Amino acid sequence: MTPPGPVAGPSSAPASGGTRTGVTGTGGTGTVPRRPDESMTLLREVTERPLDPGYALMAQRRAEAGGATGRSRRSVVLMLLVAILLGAATAVAVRDLRAPQPTIAKGRTVLMEQIQDRSAQVEALSRQTASLSAEVEGLQTGGLLPSALQEVNQLDRLVSGAVPVEGPGMVVSLTDGSGGGLVEPGDAPAESRVRDADVQFVVNELWAAGAEAIAINDERLTSLSAIRNAGDAILVDLQPLNGPTYRIEAVGDAEDMQVEFARSAGLGFLQLLSAEYDIKNEVTTSDGMYLPGAGSPTLRWAKVPTSDTTQDRSEEDNG
């Protein structure tokens, strides 16, 4: 009797159709083969989705933290409230700084009153000085000096502006402009205000036109006079002039002065002030003007009279 042979099975003999592709094993257990591109998976993750794992990790951490999102929102709201409070405080501080302070306004009023009082005192002292100067002049012309010295002294005082003068002449008025708008007197823009250089130019042109004596707002000019600025005020010999109109009076031959002034650069300068800076001006003539004296000049040097002058005085005394 022939013993039975081995039973054909998956592990001992191939099936009629051949071996199953990709399936191997023992005892009926199979293994899936590796993909050919499996080694490229890490590179694809790095190149195609480099941030996704990081986002996923952070989302997981936030989910684990629980109330972190609520705290961040509260922080944003708190910062917003702090910013609003700081902005409101800054606005209030700026408003308080710009608002006129009662103390400052009161102090300015007190200073203005003091300035007015001091100006009144200066005017009173100036009148007293003029009275004393007239008294001194009367004593000098009352026979205390020889006639030759009296004539020289009178001419010197006339030329220096120490004595009043009157006669025909010419008047040039300069008035602060408004800069093209309607403003209160004294509130004109800086470029539309009369400056010391403007007054100086007109005065020099009047001297060149033949003026014998000049006064600005009743302030007599001498050979030592200075016209300058102090802030917004124009000073003549340290005396402030009251604006906004500055009246420049010149005594001399009115017709000749007017002709010479028109030929000079003075007329063109006035037209420039009017056209470019809105500074109003007016040129007129007068048959009779009175210019006050500048007071007694300061004595800077003196010398002893010559023997001829002393002899003339002796002859007058003997005569």
Among residues of the chain, what percentage have pLDDT more than 70?
A: 68
pLDDT in tens, 113-144: 898 898 889 888 888 887 887 787 777 666 66
pLDDT in tens, 19-28: 444 444 444 4
**Average pLDDT over the chain, rounded to an integer:** 77
Average pLDDT over residues 165-189: 74
Domains in the chain, start-ordered, CATH in brackets?
166-292 (3.30.70.1880)
Q: Where are the alpha helices (DSSP H) in 140-182?
A: 147-160
**pTM for the predicted model, two decimal places:** 0.53
Lowest mean pLDDT among 153-167, 231-245, 258-272: 153-167
Helices 147-160 and 307-318: angle between axes, nearest 10 degrees:
120
3-state secondary structure (DSSP) of residue 86: helix
Q: What is the pLDDT of residue 130?
A: 77
H/E segment holding residue 53: helix 52-65
Q: What is the pLDDT of residue 145?
A: 62
The DSSP secondary-structure symbol of 182 reads -
Lowest mean pLDDT among 93-102, 213-222, 260-269: 93-102
Q: Which amino acid belongs to residue 265?
A: A
Q: CA–CA separation, 111 vs 118, rounded Å?
A: 10
Q: What is the pLDDT of residue 230?
A: 87
pLDDT of 244 higher than 70:
yes
pLDDT of 146 higher than 90:
no
| Residue closest to 170 by CA, chosen among 270, 274, 278, 279 | 270
pLDDT of 279 higher than 90:
yes
pLDDT tier at 243, thresholds 50, 70, 90:
confident
The answer for 17, left when phi > 0, alpha when psi is -120 to 50, beta otherwise, is: alpha
Lowest mean pLDDT among 68-82, 113-127, 221-235, 274-288: 68-82
How many other C-beta atoms are found inside a 10 Å radius of the C-beta of residue 251? Answer: 22
